[in-house]
Amino acid sequence: DQQVKQNSPSLSVQEGRISILNCDYTNSMFDYFLWYKKYPAEGPTFLISISSIKDKNEDGRFTVFLNKSAKHLSLHIVPSQPGDSAVYFCAASALYNQGGKLIFGQGTELSVKP
């Protein structure tokens, strides 16, 4: 039972354009969502997060949107840069249900072409 799904295994965009990475979830108890970025041979690093009481959070070039009715979140990167090329993982957590443990999606590999 995949509670967090990233249905696009890969995405390719041109430098300077917008990258949109999508994530769907099934558990309505999730109250916090995060995005992690991972380069090859390195551990994932935290990128941005959003609480379920919000619908948008912005940090520089990165914006996360949450649509609770659709159980969908997305990460927008504007403008995309070659250094953004990495695997992006969506994660969700339900504090009172799962004690803060994160459930991860399958990941989307983003490639930004110069």
Partner 1 sequence: DVKVTQSSRYLVKRTGEKVFLECVQDMDHENMFWYRQDPGLGLRLIYFSYDVKMKEKGDIPEGYSVSREKKERFSLILESASTNQTSMYLCASQDRGLREGYGYTFGSGTRLTVV
Helix (H) or strand (E) holding 62: strand 62-67
CA 61 to chain centre: 14
Whose Cβ is closer to partner 1: residue 96's or residue 114's? 96
Whose Cβ is closer to partner 1: residue 25's or residue 36's? 36
Whose Cβ is closer to partner 1: residue 62's or residue 104's? 104
Binder among 21, 34, 77, 112 for partner 1 (CB under 8 A): 34
CB of residue 9 to partner 1, shortest distance in Å: 6
Q: What is the DSSP string of 80-111?
A: --GGG-EEEEEEEE-HHHHTT-EEE---EEEE
Is residue 14 within 8 Å of 78, Cβ to Cβ? Answer: no
Binder among 11, 20, 29, 102 for partner 1 (CB under 8 A): 102
Q: Does 66 bind partner 1 (CB under 8 A)?
A: no
Q: Does 106 bind partner 1 (CB under 8 A)?
A: yes
Whose Cβ is closer to partner 1: residue 6's or residue 85's? 6
Its sign, for the CA torsion 102, 25, 1, 85, is: negative
Q: For residue 47, give both structure tokens.
A: 């990128």
Q: For residue 103, give both structure tokens.
A: 């459930």
The residue ranges that bind partner 1 (CB under 8 A) are 6, 9, 32, 34, 36, 38, 41-46, 49, 89, 93, 95, 99-107
